[in-house]
Structures are given as structure tokens and as C-alpha cells.
């Protein structure tokens, strides 16, 4: 199943016949998917269905079958364990601007992002003084700092508390609307996926295939109250139906 969005020229990610073989077993049933430039897509699926593997394929970290084309080489990745991509020997602000250096970045933008992400008070500290959630925020802020054309978020709010996670959803959406990168996010939280995305890609269990692509017809400007709206709950029921129908 190929999910086509937009015209050929506006495609940001084009996945064709994607598969990864581990110990002679195929993880995927030749997945094909198109993601348009500036689109926000959430991937939902059961544990172990290969969501992270798919992301690693997009970023070029693993060998795989099929092809993945991206419109830009400027791809940023935020993994599940923030410690892994944070450089503990750099300060918080140096981590945000990494891989650029202080002279190569727009200081006003850095300051504004530090404020938005509430990391301003920690900018000169080393990451060891941050909580797991704040480290995750740091990595998301790094992606936004560099105007990455494509941002891959692998369960970015997993280690955040409820309130911070709710704030971060809004912040990431605000920043997405301001800078308009293509965002692909893996989530296990249906409400989070609906709140964040333009489209939700529901994956099956192994061998993984795309069960359904659900369009999220909600307003661009989203507040926390949207989760009690009728439209929101209708989409939630649709996603739940897809996830439970195996």
C-alpha cells in the first residue's frame, strides 16, 4: 500500500518496498509510504513492529531492502534515550547548537528557543544537571535550532511527566508551524498522536504492514481542550478500531 500525499515535487520522504531482515526473518511486508514536505506524521503500532527500525532506515543508520528517498540531507533525529545523543562534555547551549559552533548560529534564535524550552536558566550548565525530560527537550530544541528539513522523533515525550509532555506537545506544534519542517513521530499514545499529527500511519504487528493511514482533520491551531472535542474523539475511535482489529 502506497500512501501518496501531494505532488511528486513536494515529497519529503519516499519509502518504497522497505524491509529489514533479522535472522532470516522479514520484519516488514514491503512498506511503501510518501510523506509530503512540511507534513507532521505520527506512526502508531504495537511494540516490536519495527517503528524505530523504519526511522533508522530513513536516517541511513541501517542497511535495508527497498528504497528510501528524502528531499533533503538535513535530517535530525531525537531518540528514546536522550542521554545517547547529548554530549555530556558540552554545556546545554553548546549542545543545542551542536554540530554548529557559537559563531555559526543566530544568537537571537538560540535565546528565543532557550526561553521557549525553559532551558534558559541551564544554558551554561552541563547536561548532568538536567532531568531526563529536560534532556529530551534539549534534543528537540537542537532539531529546531538548525531548521532541519526533516525531524524524526522517536517517542520524544516518553520520559516526560504529564504536564511537561502536554506543554511540549503544544511547543513542538508551535515550532513546527513557525519553521515548517517535515516531522515524523513515533508514539504509543493515541491522544498524543492525534493532537500532534496531520496524518496517522497505523502499523500492524509483524510482518509489519501499513494497516491504515488516517487523516487528522483538526484545526492547525490546537489547544489542550481539543481532546474533548467530538472530531478528536471520532478520530480516536477510528485509530482504536484499527489498532484492535488484527
Partner 1 sequence: MSFLQNNKISNGFIKLSGIALVLVLWCIVYSLKLYSPLLIPSPVEVAKSLISFISDYNLLIHLGATMVRIFAAFIVSAIFGIILGLLIGYYAIIDHSSELLIDFLRSIPGIVLFPLFILFFGTSEVSRALVAIFVAIPIIIINTKYGVKNSNESRKNMRKIYKLGNLDFFKRVLIPESSPYIFTGLKVALSFTIIIIIVTEMLLGTRYGLGRLLIISQYEFNTAMLFSIIILLGMIGLLFNLGFNLFERKTFHWRELE
Q: Which residues bind partner 1 (CB under 8 A)?
A: 59-61, 73-77, 79, 81, 83-89, 98-99, 126-128
For residue 88, the minimal CB distance to partner 1 (Å) is 4
Identify which of residues 135 and 203 has a Cβ nearer to partner 1 in the complex. Answer: 135
Identify which of residues 101 and 225 has a Cβ nearer to partner 1 in the complex. Answer: 101
Helical H runs in the chain?
A: 51-59, 82-85, 92-97, 107-116, 132-145, 162-179, 190-196, 230-244
For residue 210, the minimal CB distance to partner 1 (Å) is 25
For residue 81, the minimal CB distance to partner 1 (Å) is 8
Identify which of residues 44 and 153 has a Cβ nearer to partner 1 in the complex. Answer: 153
For residue 52, the minimal CB distance to partner 1 (Å) is 12
Identify which of residues 89 and 162 has a Cβ nearer to partner 1 in the complex. Answer: 89
Which cell is 56 given? Answer: 533508522
- What 156-165 contacts at long range (C-beta under 8 Å, 24+ apart), as own/partner pairs, is 156/78, 156/185, 157/187, 157/189, 157/192, 158/80, 158/188, 159/82, 159/132, 159/133, 160/132, 160/133, 160/136, 161/133, 164/133, 164/137, 165/133, 165/192
For residue 87, the minimal CB distance to partner 1 (Å) is 7
Identify which of residues 142 and 199 has a Cβ nearer to partner 1 in the complex. Answer: 142
Ramachandran bin of 48, using left for φ above 0, alpha for ψ from -120 to 50, beta for the remaining angles: left
Amino acid at each position: 500500500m502506497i500512501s501518496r500525499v501531494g505532488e511528486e515535487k513536494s515529497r519529503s520522504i519516499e519509502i518504497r518496498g522497505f524491509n529489514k531482515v533479522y535472522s532470516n526473518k522479514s520484519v516488514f511486508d514491503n512498506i511503501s509510504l510518501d510523506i509530503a514536505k512540511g507534513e507532521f506524521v505520527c506512526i502508531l503500532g504495537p511494540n516490536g513492529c519495527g517503528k524505530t527500525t523504519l526511522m533508522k532506515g530513513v536516517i541511513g543508520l541501517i542497511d535495508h531492502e527497498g528504497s528510501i528517498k528524502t528531499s533533503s540531507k538535513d535530517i535530525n533525529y531525537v531518540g528514546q534515550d536522550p542521554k545517547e545523543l547529548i554530549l555530556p562534555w558540552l554545556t546545554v547551549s553548546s549542545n543545542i547548537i551542536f554540530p554548529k559552533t557559537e559563531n555559526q548560529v543566530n544568537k537571537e534564535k538560540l535565546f528565543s528557543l532557550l526561553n521557549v524550552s525553559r532551558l534558559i536558566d541551564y544554558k551554561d550548565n552541563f547536561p548532568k544537571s538536567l532531568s531526563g525530560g529536560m534532556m529530551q527537550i534539549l534534543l528537540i530544541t537542537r532539531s529546531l535550532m538548525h531548521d532541519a528539513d526533516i525531524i524524526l522523533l522517536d517517542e520524544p515525550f516518553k520520559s516526560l511527566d504529564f504536564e511537561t509532555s502536554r506543554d511540549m506537545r503544544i511547543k513542538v506544534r508551535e515550532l513546527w508551524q513557525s519553521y515548517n519542517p517535515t516531522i515524523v513521530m513515533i508514539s504509543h499514545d493515541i491522544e498524543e498522536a492525534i493532537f500532534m499529527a496531520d496524518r496517522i500511519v497505523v502499523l500492524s504487528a509483524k510482518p509489519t504492514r501499513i494497516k491504515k493511514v488516517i487523516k487528522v482533520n483538526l484545526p492547525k491551531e490546537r489547544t489542550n481542550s481539543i481532546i474533548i472535542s467530538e472530531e478528536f474523539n471520532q478520530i480516536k475511535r477510528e485509530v482504536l478500531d484499527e489498532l484492535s482489529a488484527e
